[in-house]
Amino acid sequence: MTNMNFFAVDLGATSGRTILGSIVDGKLEQRELTRFPNNIIEVGGHFFWDIYALYNEIIRGLKVVADEKVEIASIGIDTWGCDFVFVGKDGGVLRNPYCYRDPHTDGAMEEYFKLVSKEKVYEKTGIQFMQFNSLFQLSTLRRNHDSAMEGAEKILFIPDALMYMLTGEAVCEYTVLSTSQMLNPRTKRIDSDLIAPIGLEESQFGRYVNPSEQVGALTPEVQKMTGLGAVPVVAVAGHDTGAAVAAVPAMNERFAYLSCGTWSLLGIETKDAIINDKSFEYNFTNEGGIEGTTRFLKNICGMWLLERSRKEFKNAPANVNDLNKSAMEAPAFRSFIFPDASDFANPASMIDAIRTYCKTTGQPVPETHQEIARCIFESLAMRYRQVLGYLKELAPFPIERLHVIGGGTYNQYLMQFAANSIGLPVLTGPVEGTAIGNIMLQAKAAGVVKDMFEMRSIIAESIEMKTYEPADTEAWDAAYERYLAVTNTK
């Protein structure tokens, strides 16, 4: 097996990294080169991403590679989904992109359903309804006569936009497109019936590319800035969850996965989209995976709850592991929240939002950081059980275990809570699943590995996994009934 180096850009909703990865003697090795914040810009009553800052951070990482005289075979970029950049006729970026947390899409779905029915949108896309899906963002901007949209020649999702800035090639990568609620999974193309009512055409989204397909090479401008040559840029799974699921070290299909970070994404991997009355009722999504697979999943609010709360805690441990441990000092099953309630989307104060929810639902109000953190962890574990129950109804195979990937695996208490709650073994790792999936898809493009089975075999040999077995299940079963009653869900 040839030793080759790959440069991965992994951008999340709060931070980003550049990573150098290689496969040596059948095992994956990786090294973080740079890490940086991904700040939301608040101006004029709106929230934006700084696409130029992200581009500059990619350039900075590439300069490190050049300074170290490391030869890289390719570059791959993964990011969050749904958001996009407008590019004008002269090829320039027209404005920093809106952040999906911007409130301008409040009520956007209902406005769009005046043009196309909710049932038709789901039948065509099989995508979970969330107000920040690209379709509803674009509909909102059109309704508001947004000047950048009106001047747009191309609309590029965030990973596509960054590849465009590096190569000059305008493409539309399959996995990130699949998050938009514009892709028809049967045709593998944008559905014109959905975008025509808001005045858009398929040609505005660039040529379609799939994971492990070369997009282009670094432009002469970027080569000069970085000191590198015409390095190929490869479309990986541009949506970070797609890259993360590609890194799940599963040996057969009988598993569910949980990508646990700012968001929790819980689902299964299937050959075909699952679009029926039950998936519509439960609001599940069918997103594109690697090698033609479908990621059938549901978005759940994740560690965003704790990330935001930590900023307000007083006298709490600064180290997140110590903070997680301190949560075990609080009484069990005292208060629950529904993690996906709109109350927690982007409140001015997360602590106040949690306390208000508990007070309104007649529960003890968590006061200390220990009580708030424990409330978050137990509520997430209960929500995992709830969504996994839906998956068991819909999956075409039995689910025997839960693979958890992402930074949330560092929280051993949440992982044990998850096992206790769902009553199945929880296997954790890799932690940096998104970056690993990014690297392995570049390796596939280079011919180093042939398919996802070989990718996953190498990953399994390269990481340490930990298994959490269910415990105290009777107490968790009883608490789950309370959770359902308090949250008024089923």
Compute the distance between CA of residue 90 and CA of residue 29 in angstroms, rounded to an integer.
Answer: 41
Burial of 419 (0-12, 13-18, 19+ CB in 10 A): buried
Coil, helix or strand at residue 164:
helix
Question: 124 and 193 in contact (C-beta within 8 Å)?
Answer: yes
Catalytic residue, candidates 83, 240, 343, 352: 240
By DSSP bridging, strand 207-209 and strand 171-173 are: parallel
**Strand, coil or helix: 337:** coil
Q: What is the CB neighbour count within 10 angstroms for residue 68?
A: 9
Strand, helix or coil for residue 195: helix
Active site residue 10: no
> Of 298, 324, 290, which Cα lies nearest the Cα of 309?
324
- List the one residue out of 91, 174, 90, 100 whose CA is nearest residue 132: 100
What 8-state DSSP symbol labels residue 136? Answer: H
Sequence-distant (6+) residues with CB within 8 A of 223 are 229, 230
Q: Give catalytic residues, as residue numbers.
A: 240
